[in-house]
Amino acid sequence: MIKRDVFEYALVRVVPRMERGECFNAGVIVYSRAHAYVAARIHLDEAKLLALDPEADVAGVRAALRGVEGVCGGGEGAGQAAGDDAGRRFRWLIAPRSTVVQPGPVHTGLTADPAAEVERLLGLLVL
């Protein structure tokens, strides 16, 4: 029997215009304490972004999404979270701090392979 461990994940949402309340999923962040693993996979649908807000700052949204990936990767790309462990970086990422790029609620599941899980969730919930 394959051992499965608890993992947590949150979607990364883009909310182009807060006053309209419209959003779409642009990525997923997966964290597994048992595997000391945190990773994000991002896919920005520019056409969807511009359909919701023709004046959206596409480059700014891309930069914010790259920042999520950088924090997950740790090291120099993580900025203030560079020295933090995977769990602290995940908690840092799921804390709301932007009106345009926002984390969704945290969900849990079981997996033997968190790296495969992040790809599965990207395909299921974002692409």
The amino acid at residue 3 is K
Domain extents for the chain? 5-125
Please measure the distance between the N-terminal and C-terminal CA atoms of the chain and give it in whole angstroms: 31
Q: Would you state the pLDDT for residue 82?
A: 76
Q: Would you state the pLDDT for residue 74?
A: 82
DSSP code for 91: H
- Cα–Cα nearest to 50, from 28, 24, 69: 24
Q: Would you state the pLDDT for residue 76?
A: 77
Per-residue pLDDT of the chain (127 residues; tens, 9 = 90+): 889 999 999 999 999 998 888 999 999 999 999 999 999 999 999 999 999 999 999 999 999 999 999 999 887 777 777 788 899 999 999 998 778 999 999 999 999 999 999 999 999 999 9
